[in-house]
Amino acid sequence: MILRRTLPFTLALGYALGCPTWLPAVDLQYFTTTVYPALQKAGCQGCHNPDGVAAGTRLHLPDPGASPATLENFGLSLKALTDPADPGKSLLLNKPTRRVAHAGGKRIAPGSPEEAILRTWVDYLSTTKAVAKKETEAAATPIGPVLRRLTHFQYNNTVRDLLGDQGNLADQFPPEDFVNGFKNQYQSQSISPLLAEAYSLAAEKLAQNAFRGGDTHGLIPCKQTYPGCAEKFVQSFGQRVFRRPLQKDETDRYARLFRTQKQFLAGAQIVTEALLQSPAFLLRTDGAQSKAYGRASRLSYFLWNTLPDAALFRSAAAGELDTPQGVETAARRMLKDPKARATVDDFVAQWLRFDRLLNTIKDRETFPQYGPELALAMTEEARRLVADLVWNNGDFTKVYSADYAFLNSGLADLYKVKAPPDDFGKVALPPETERSGILGQGLFLGLTSKPTETSPTARGLFVREQFLCQDVPQPPPGVSTNLPVLTKEKPQTNRERLALHLNNESCASCHTLIDPIGFGFEKFDAIGQRREKQKLTFRPTREEAKDKNKVRKTETVSLALDTSGYVAGIRDSEFTAPSTLGKVLAASEQCQECIVKQLFRYESGRKEAPADRPIIRQSFDEFRRSGFRFQDLMVSLIKLNLFQPVRTESHVVSDN
């Protein structure tokens, strides 16, 4: 125990003195007990994981909870990052100490006990003949059936298709939270007392409206005088509400409730109200009581965000959804329905965070042309670009690199291009605009900005999280996020002010990953207008305005811009405008695979886990082979989620 507590000091002293006799005997267990904990302490896992900002590098740390054998094999695989001829020049040693450029900053202090531990392992790898083995990917524990609540969007759609109600009552429910970029993630879908009360009131109102004036929606499948009509209504309508056939005890229970009412329509109304408050209606799981009906429900809520139609129910009953081909046939039919377009629109609105722009406020003195109408036009531009690529089977990576846009007159004026004859017509973007895809749109540029100025940090973070699916580590606790105050005496560009982040060790490890991306967008202001210089406006303070002896006027200072940027972790990613970054992202496998991950999260209601990697990998391969057609991706993803693929061999880092 004494040796274990004093080992780091012993290693550091021996390393500093150049005395190998101070170093302990090294073996694979030494890696798991000493080296790997040092890497964890340094925070390497935060970036060097499949979803981290270093996902594109050769170094991926094992998943949390990995077996000792996996850790040992990983330790041997690090030999690819050593220099046997000169161990001191090994990347494994010099990257984390930042003796060579490291986007993650200095994670291990030179001369520290942790560096001594790492050097010990580098020396061991330089001399050992042991090599990492190719290993079959361990069968990660799959996530079991996830209980999911209908989203407000799904609730509105479902009662519309059940009852013909267009009231969108769920719009008045308590607002939903974004988790993992979407509002349908199961972690955030608890039912609060306030929401439960809202469900009760909505069910009462919907049931009353459904039978006001008689059975106007044709919900009752038989003559109301027929003795068994109550049971038939419960069975037929109940199957649509629960999205599966009712069990006998359920039918009996609701039939008894029906007969508590003297009038037939009153019985139908009270049963409808009860059904709409049942967990079987409000909640759904991926593992339903009937697999066939469970598949039908998962298909319909992914592609339509509503309950299955009659044809899908028939397919489930006939066993046509029991094979991947049967699911694909159903999915292809469903994609031709207008409800599929509404679902893609919903996905886009959440993925691109329309809500942030629609809820943001811009300074009216600085941007007098900005208002709710222009904000809505910006969301419509993005929606139409995606819809054009999806429904015309275009290359979806052009969502980043498209040299055209769908504009109305307000946006055309903002972008300084000729307006189309019709609102939101397709307009070619001249090269001098330096815009492309969503990166050059007012939506992205506006929602990642402050009320009066741009935010390179927010823009870089959005690219990392939404377009590369990378988790940027949280800033250390207690770090000040305040930038130098702008003064007329010392005006600074955003780049100059943010240099504070890059020159501070505690900040640089994260900001070197995001700020350089944001700098490449500085040609565009907080509402997406192109600019050649950054203009700073200094207005008199309230106190100065009251002082009649001092006449202060509003003054404007113009500063030259340096808009060079790059994406750390992507080779040859230097850019100076959205148009050049758009081409970089469109060609990046990390970005292409992120599209798959974002759709997976939307479909599954959760973030991907290690057990989902075969699905992500195979779906991405099929997406790429299709020419990046989004409809094919939707079909591929739902098939693979319903019928798990066979696991393939995975390779750890090798000398190659």
DSSP state letters, 172-186: GSPPPPPBTTBS--G
| Residue 274's pLDDT band (cuts 50, 70, 90) | very high
pLDDT (mean) for 52-60 = 77
Confidence (pLDDT) at 244: 95
pLDDT (mean) for 293-309 = 97
Count the residues in the chain: 656
Q: Is the pLDDT of residue 37 over 60?
A: yes
Q: In this predicted structure, which of 220-234, 480-494, 603-617 has the lowest mean pLDDT?
A: 480-494
Q: Above pLDDT 70, what percent of the chain?
A: 88
Q: Is the pLDDT of residue 652 over 70?
A: no
Confidence (pLDDT) at 21: 41
Per residue in 392-405, pLDDT (tens digit) is 999 999 999 999 99
DSSP state letters, 549-593: TS----EEEEEE----B--TTSTT--BSSHHHHHHHHHH-HHHHH
The answer, as to whether pTM is greater than 0.95, is no
Bridge partner residues of 491 (DSSP): none
H/E stretch holding 401 reads helix 398-401
| Residue 433's pLDDT band (cuts 50, 70, 90) | very high
- Of the two residues 44 and 614, the one the predictor is more confident about is 614
pLDDT (mean) for 59-80 = 85
Confidence (pLDDT) at 135: 59
Q: Is the pLDDT of residue 653 over 60?
A: no
Per residue in 85-128, pLDDT (tens digit) is 888 888 888 888 888 878 777 888 888 888 888 888 888 888 88
Confidence (pLDDT) at 458: 96
CA 358, CA 371: separation in Å to the nearest integer? 9
Across all residues in the chain, what is the average pLDDT? 88
The DSSP symbol for 650 reads E
Per residue in 129-177, pLDDT (tens digit) is 878 877 555 566 777 778 899 999 999 999 999 999 999 999 999 999 9
pLDDT (mean) for 609-620 = 93
Q: In this predicted structure, which of 22-31, 194-203, 429-438 has the lowest mean pLDDT?
A: 22-31
Q: Which residues of 577-606 are buried (b: 16+ CB within 10 A; e: fewer)?
A: bbbbbbbbbbebebbbbbbbbbbbbbbbbb
Q: Is the pLDDT of residue 651 over 60?
A: no
- The amino acid sitting at 428 is A
Q: In this predicted structure, which of 24-33, 74-83, 91-100 has the lowest mean pLDDT?
A: 24-33
Phi (first) and psi of residue 162, to 5 degrees? -80, -45
CA 613, CA 623: separation in Å to the nearest integer? 15
| Residue 2's pLDDT band (cuts 50, 70, 90) | very low
- Of the two residues 391 and 31, the one the predictor is more confident about is 391
Q: Is the pLDDT of residue 603 over 80?
A: yes
Q: In this predicted structure, which of 43-52, 311-320, 350-359, 504-513 has the lowest mean pLDDT?
A: 504-513
Confidence (pLDDT) at 26: 83
| Residue 545's pLDDT band (cuts 50, 70, 90) | low
Per residue in 404-415, pLDDT (tens digit) is 999 999 999 999
CA 35, CA 62: separation in Å to the nearest integer? 14
